[in-house]
A and B are shown apart, each in its own frame.
Chain A
Amino acid sequence: VTLETEQQGEREKEDERARRATVEVEASYQPTTTRFEKRYPRETTLAPVKVDVMAFFQVTERQVERKVYTYHLFLAGQPQADLGKTLGAIAGEERELKFQLVEQIVES
């Protein structure tokens, strides 16, 4: 019993270390209620996260002649323009981040 208890304790410590080294990312995209969820190392920058989120929601940035259509990651209502920023720098002491993928609507 003592050995099992020690092993369980080690596993819990290991899990805790893993959680501290990572950030749980959740992302929503308005036309669906389905959420993107994935755990990333804290040193991951926003650029690959945005790629993953867009792939998950099956959307692509597009360009026709000089018109470019882009998507943006928002956090707490603010656009995250610096895609070189790491999740750890954004999260600080937090262990999870909730983004929203948004776009600009232009009609004419």
Chain B
Amino acid sequence: VTDLYPPITRWMIPAAARAATLSGLRRAGQRGHEGGALWLGDRGVEARVRTVASASGDGVLERAGSWSLSPTAYGRIGEWAIERGQVLLGLIHSHGGSGALATSLSPTDAFSTVRVHHFLSVIVGRRGDEDDASAWGYHLFEQGRFRRLGAAEVAERIVWTSATIDHLQFDETTVEAARA
């Protein structure tokens, strides 16, 4: 496991990634739908998020109670990242409501997603209209299951930085700079 998926101690996430992530989630949220985005970057003991990829368009299904990404759409952004030496570090999607329950993984979330060591699955409540990143739910895949990080662990392992990011939007056919 360690060769392919080395353990991650901390995630270094530019503050700009928070705004970029929320912009896509809010767009979906305004229609009463769940939305999602991918965090791509460098994997290591300290993983660094370099790109936020907001999913929107063909192959992206946003509904009131679910959000899904077709293999073709996932493959499209995956290819873009592979060509640039970046890997998928985490997946962020929104739920309605707020609080610990609303920002927890549903059984479907835990089942139908990437399940490799130290993959991060983040849930943003209030359909993406939650600026306070400490109110998000952070779930880490290890030892065959997702585990929610407690507040102290989030404070220690999720580190917000001042670095810059690329913000993309993608679907089954296109990967392009996100429109403001």
Contacts and interface: CB of A to CB of B under 8 A. Distances in A.
A92 interface: no
Contacts of A30: 74, 78, 81-82, 87-88, 114
Contact of B87 (A32, A57, A59): A32
Given A69-B111, A100-B82, A102-B78, A108 B67 contact: yes
A34 B65 CA distance: 35
Interface residues of A, number: 25
Given A30-B82, A100-B79, A107 B93 contact: yes
Interface in A16-75: 28, 30-34, 57-59, 62, 64, 67, 69, 72, 74
Contacts, number: 106
Interface of B: 1, 3-5, 34, 36, 43, 65-72, 74-76, 78-79, 81-82, 85, 87-89, 91, 93, 106, 108-109, 111-116, 119
14 contacts: A28-B82, A30-B78, A30-B87, A31-B114, A31-B119, A32-B87, A32-B116, A62-B111, A102-B78, A103-B71, A104-B69, A104-B70, A106-B113, A108-B65
